[in-house]
Structures are given as C-alpha cells and as structure tokens.
Amino acid sequence: MQSYTTDTSYDGFRLSAFIQEEADRLASMQLSNGALPLNPLVLGKSVRICPYFSSFAALALLSASPSYNGNVRRYIEWYFAHLNTAGSDYNGLDGTIYDYTIKESDAGLAEAPLCDETETPVYDSTDSYAALFLTVLAEYGEKTGDLETLRRYQEEIGRVIRAMLGTLDKGLTYARPDYPVKYTMDNCETARGLSSAFRLSRFIPGLDGEALHRAYRKVTQAIERCLWNRNLGYYEVGLDGRNTPVTQTFDWKRFYPDAMAQAFPILMEVQPPGSGRAQYLYRELTGQFPPAAMEGDLLLNAGMLALLAAQMGDADTARKYLDIHRQAFCQSGQGGRISCQVYALGLLAASILQAQSAGTAACTA
C-alpha cells in the first residue's frame, strides 16, 4: 500500500457527502435476509458474516441518518434468528452466535455456520460479539424509539447478556470458554456491553438495571486492577488462565495488538476523554502513529485513529486521519477493498465530527 497526504480542504460540506456515501456503501452490502457481511456479495461466491464486525457496521448506520434505521432493524432480526442454544453451541453456552458463510444462487441465499478444519463452528469470541450487539440494541432503541421490536426479543436479550458474562472470572471475561484469555479489548467491550444493557433495562422488562450497573462497576474496576500495568504505564494486551501477560514484551510501536489495546479503553468509553489516563494514552498513540506515519498496513488503522481522535475532541487530527482513510479506501472504484468494520470506523468518526461541528455552530450562532 502507498502512503497518502491529508487534504486540508476537507470541510463540513464534504464531510456530509462522505457520511452519505459511506452509509450507502454499508447499506448496499446488506443481504436480503438482513445479514451485514464483511464484504459485498458476489453472485456464485461465498461471503463471510462476522457478527462482531457486522455490529460495528450497524452502529455506523445508526450514527449516519434515521433513513438507515430499517437496515439496522433487519440486522437485529437476523442476529436474534441465529442465536445458538446450549445444545447447538460447541461450548454449551446459550445465547452465542457463530460466524456464517452465505452464498447466493438462482435458488436464493444459502447460509451455514463457518467451520474450521475440524468441522467445528467458529466464533472469535463470546464476550465481544454479545457486548457489541447489546450496544447496537441500546443505540437502536434510543435513536429510533422502536421499543416494540426490542420488547419482542426480551427473552433473547437476556440470553445475549448471559452469553457475554458466561466466561466471567474474578471480574473479567475470557474471550470464549475454550480460549481462556482475558483481553483488554474484549473486557472494554464487555464493560460497554454492560453499560448498554443497563440502558436497555430502562425500557425492556425483566432486565435488572441495578445488577447490571454493579456488574459494570466490577468489570471496570477489574480492568484497572488487573490489566493496567501501573509501573510501565500501559494496559496489558491480556492475561492467560494463570493471570500471566499474554505478550512477554510490550511494544508501543506494534500497533496490533499492543497499541490497539491502549485505544479500546477510550473507544469503549471505559476512560472518559477528560481523564488523565485517556489524555496520556491518546498522546502516546498519536505520538507513535501520527497521520504522517499512515502508510502500508498502518493505513487499515487510520479510520480507528480518526474515531479515537474524534472521541477525544481533537477534530483537526481526526480529520487528518479520516482524509487518509478516505483517500486510501473510499474513492470511486475502491469499494470492497476492506471489511465492513473498517468502513464503519471511518463513518463513525465522520458522524461524531459532524455532530461536534453542528454543536459548535449552534453555540456561536
């Protein structure tokens, strides 16, 4: 991949156009059954559905415009229709969801769980998939007011919450029952999932808001107590089953997984933008990976860094990252080059910037 320079003329009008184009891109990828695939479906070929990535796409569509609310509702319905039971989940954990492959033919869509070389169905995690989906549900309920749809799935929402917490151990979740690693990224997502579930409890009967809030506090406290390395000033990538760091040597210059793990406490709102910890992590991340360094494989992370900067209120830097992301992946004829999640991160960043710009204009009017 080549490197890109920033376009300083990237103004509010073009920001609106970018949001429209990227939301249309994600919406156009949605299949007739409601699934949001990693990449556009090509007739006669299989496409992968990773619900974790799909939930980022759904969140991005919700951020763009109410005109995409129907797309998100159809994704929600697809997700609930594919929940595993304890009997169908290979770990015996109810409320999980597998990755899927879907192929289109003249007979329609044919879908099946994605399997590994041993013919075992695949999901990357049980905590993060559930957590991101709960955030989709909370955002959908609050932005659309379509509580009837969510209440129809009251029982299933409870199952998803239990799946998210099904690997909880001493305040932190393992990625999945058969992969006992307590990742910082996953646990930040779990914290946001619990926060989202608490929001859902305000309008979904049967959810114990007080218990969810207590669980949120326990997870966030455990993140700080167990995953923050106070001596060296970084979050561990994760801890294994013996509570030993999964990476022997942390390296700020290694974006994935080391540096990325430092972004997630901010991205998942575990650390508020005004906190000293968030400010410190943001300075380190943008110092190690400034816009000028976005080249080669690092270009894939420009959208995430744009979202990080936008959440920190650093609009100028966010626009620089976002313009690099736009030039690298969003120009005419470049569709499908990256996953739906990477497109979604850029759209989420742009939506925050647009909202901040509108807020600034209202204050100065």
Cα 252 to chain centroid, rounded: 22
Tell me the per-residue pLDDT of 64-120, one tens digit each, with 9 for 90 and over.
999 999 999 999 999 999 999 999 999 999 999 999 999 987 778 899 999 999 999
**Residue 62, token pair as written in the block:** 């919700």
Tell me the per-residue pLDDT of 177-196, one tens digit each, with 9 for 90 and over.
999 999 999 999 999 999 99
| Long-range CB pairs of 37-41, under 8 A, 24+ apart, other chains included | 37/102, 37/340, 38/339, 38/340, 38/341, 39/336, 39/339, 39/340, 40/335, 40/336, 41/102, 41/104
Cβ pair 310, 318 in contact under 8 A:
yes
Instruction: Give me the tens of pLDDT residue by residue for the chain, a chain 365 residues long.
Output: 444 344 434 454 489 999 999 999 999 999 999 999 999 998 778 999 999 999 999 999 999 999 999 999 999 999 999 999 999 999 999 999 999 999 987 778 899 999 999 999 999 999 999 999 999 999 999 999 999 999 999 999 999 999 999 999 999 999 999 999 999 999 999 999 999 999 999 999 999 999 999 999 999 999 999 999 999 999 999 999 999 999 989 999 999 999 999 999 999 999 999 999 999 999 999 999 999 999 999 999 999 999 999 999 999 999 999 999 999 999 866 666 799 999 999 999 999 999 998 776 555 55
Looking at residue 219, its amino acid is: V
